[in-house]
């Protein structure tokens, strides 16, 4: 079986979790001890230090197939800790966040959703030595000729490309199809690119650092002028996930006839990948690893609200965790002892079956103190560009201790809007008091329901 690596595009989920955009890491010192307030995290010293140990195990690749449970009341920073682990590991280690309720999809099986996310969290670093032309683009000149079919338009016969390295400039005459690739990559004069000799694939690496002082509203990645000759052998490292490989090899190529085209058009949007294909891909991946062509990078699969999974999913997790190719799995839950979903009478801590619970290393998160809440609210206000005085912070942290930290953070924006309506740029204590009267938290609402039970439908 030949894997299509050239065509693989990363399908990594984009992380746009606004509630935790202030988290930049675990905030540990060089010895692995938690600083009181660092990298956007405050307090939870024991939890952060435990996560630091987990991060070291992941980096040393000694934790694949193991599972960790972050357990604690709502608003104690479980998701923040998982994202901090991801930030500390860096972008090269795959991190796949999901919520347990995602498995209840109408399109595919529950176990398929779980396995897909497992495969997203396992990276493969492929090292290949290729013959390439690499340099800074000095010229892109398409040569046009009259249309051979006698039409009005002109067609491109070839393209002249100038590439500059620190050893000189080389002018290439290239096929029109490569000009299309250059346009797709949005290559301009001054960009550093490489073109593979055998496939003609064009890869833009960034803008030449010679242009670094000339930017005007430009947020580019600047790269140095390539060393050596323009034409050379180069080791190319490509990072893909196992799910990328599954997806690239799962799409059946329809025939050229009309039935083949209709079949591909009528095919379901979501392709369910077979177990047989995954086994074949695993065989090829293992062969690549044995040959030293590729390296396996076990990443992190983070499953929030783990109590939402049912008994079938938990049973499947056993098989997935014991696989030879498995990521590190981090679960999070805010439930105490409750009934396992999919059963009527099996009660278990955190809603997780005891045999799976026995395999987990549990990290506890504790309630924040009022002082810690005030610090977190201050960081959050800074991130959101909201001005708030000390007295208001104290009042808002009081609200947080009575309700939850999550609820207190949610009040920041409405309080800011109220302050602006009253003609102020900064939030005052009166704004917090007014907002608290306008909105109810879960505890206040439950108390009101209890007091006025006769007014509501039963």
pLDDT, mean of residues 320-328 = 80
pLDDT, mean of residues 104-127 = 82
What pLDDT was estimated at residue 264? 47
Instruction: Please choose, from the candidates 263, 273, 195, 201, the residue with its C-alpha nearest in 3D space to the C-alpha of residue 241.
Output: 273
Cα–Cα distance measured from residue 286 to residue 32, given in angstroms and rounded to the nearest whole number: 34
- To which H or E segment does residue 300 belong? strand 300-304
Residues 318 and 377 in one domain: no
Residue with the bigger pLDDT between 134 and 40: it is 134
Name the average pLDDT for the chain: 78
**Residue labelled with tokens 């099996």:** 346
Q: What percent of the chain has pLDDT over 90?
A: 0
Residues 99 and 181 in one domain: no
Domain total for the chain? 3
Residues 158 and 56 in one domain: no
* Residue 142, token pair as written in the block: 């398409």
Indicate whether 194 belongs to any domain: yes
pLDDT, mean of residues 410-429 = 83
Residue 419, judged by CB atoms within 10 A of its CB (0-12, 13-18, 19+), counts as buried
pLDDT band at 265 (very low <50, low <70, confident <90, very high): very low
Residues 354 and 377 in one domain: no
Indicate whether 277 belongs to any domain: no
* Residue 338, token pair as written in the block: 């409750």
pTM of the model: 0.68
pLDDT at 1 over 60: no
pLDDT, mean of residues 281-305 = 83
Q: What percent of the chain has pLDDT over 70?
A: 85
| Domain hosting residue 389, numbered range | 371-451
Indicate whether 267 belongs to any domain: no
What pLDDT was estimated at residue 260? 45
pLDDT, mean of residues 186-207 = 80
Cα–Cα distance measured from residue 175 to residue 450, given in angstroms and rounded to the nearest whole number: 76
pLDDT, mean of residues 58-67 = 72
**Range with the poorest average pLDDT among 207-211, 342-346, 385-389, 435-439:** 207-211
Indicate whether 394 belongs to any domain: yes
**Residue labelled with tokens 């997806």:** 247
pLDDT band at 416 (very low <50, low <70, confident <90, very high): confident
pLDDT at 267 over 60: no
pLDDT, mean of residues 98-121 = 83
pLDDT at 203 over 60: yes
What pLDDT was estimated at residue 266? 47
pLDDT at 254 over 70: no
SS3 annotation, 168-197: EEEEEEECHHHHHHHHHCCCCCCEEEEEEC
Residues 102 and 139 in one domain: no
**Residue labelled with tokens 């004069």:** 189
Bridge-based pairing state of the strands 67-71 and 168-174: unpaired
**CA torsion angle 3 7 8 13 (round to 10):** -150
E-strand ranges in 73-166 read: 95-99, 122-146, 154-165
Length of the chain: 458
pLDDT, mean of residues 38-61 = 80
């Amino acid at each position: 079986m030949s894997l299509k690596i050239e065509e693989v595009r990363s399908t990594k989920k984009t992380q746009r979790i606004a509630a935790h955009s202030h988290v930049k890491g675990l905030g540990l010192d060089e010895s692995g001890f938690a600083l009181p307030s660092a990298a956007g995290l405050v307090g939870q010293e024991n939890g952060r230090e435990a996560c630091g140990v987990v991060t070291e195990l992941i980096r040393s690749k000694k934790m694949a197939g193991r599972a960790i449970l972050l357990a604690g009341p709502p608003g104690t920073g479980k998701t923040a800790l998982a994202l901090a682990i991801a930030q500390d590991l860096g972008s090269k280690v795959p991190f796949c966040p999901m919520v347990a309720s995602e498995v209840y999809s109408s399109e595919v099986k529950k176990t398929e959703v779980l396995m897909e996310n497992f495969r997203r969290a396992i990276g493969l670093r492929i090292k290949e030595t290729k013959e390439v032309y690499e340099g800074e683009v000095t010229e892109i000149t398409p040569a046009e000729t009259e249309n051979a079919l006698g039409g009005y338009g002109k067609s491109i016969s070839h393209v002249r490309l100038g590439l500059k390295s620190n050893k000189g400039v080389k002018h290439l005459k290239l096929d029109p199809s490569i000009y299309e690739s250059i346009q797709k990559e949005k290559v301009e004069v001054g960009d550093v690119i490489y073109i593979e000799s055998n496939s003609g694939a064009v890869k833009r690496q960034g803008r030449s650092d010679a242009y670094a002082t000339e930017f005007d509203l430009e947020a580019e990645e600047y790269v140095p002028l390539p060393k050596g000759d323009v034409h050379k052998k180069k080791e190319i490292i490509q990072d893909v996930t196992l799910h990328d490989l599954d997806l690239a090899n799962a799409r059946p190529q329809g025939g050229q006839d009309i039935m083949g085209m209709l079949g591909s058009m009528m095919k379901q949007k979501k392709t369910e990948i077979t177990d047989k294909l995954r086994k074949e891909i695993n065989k090829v991946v293992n062969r690549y690893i044995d040959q030293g062509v590729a390296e396996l990078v076990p990443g992190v699969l983070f499953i929030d609200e783990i109590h939402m999974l049912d008994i079938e999913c938990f049973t499947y997790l056993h098989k997935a965790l014991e696989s030879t190719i498995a990521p590190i799995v981090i679960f999070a839950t805010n439930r105490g002892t409750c009934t396992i979903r999919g059963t009527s009478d099996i009660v278990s801590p955190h809603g997780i079956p005891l045999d799976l619970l026995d395999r987990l290393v549990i990290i506890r998160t504790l309630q924040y103190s009022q002082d810690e809440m005030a610090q977190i609210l201050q960081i959050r206000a800074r991130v959101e560009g909201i001005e708030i005085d000390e007295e208001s912070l104290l009042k808002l942290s009081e609200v947080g201790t009575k309700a939850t930290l999550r609820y207190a953070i949610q009040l920041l924006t409405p309080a800011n809007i109220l302050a602006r309506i009253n003609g102020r740029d900064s939030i005052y204590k009166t704004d917090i008091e007014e907002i608290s009267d306008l909105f109810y938290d879960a505890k206040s609402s439950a108390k009101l329901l209890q007091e006025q039970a006769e007014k509501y439908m039963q």
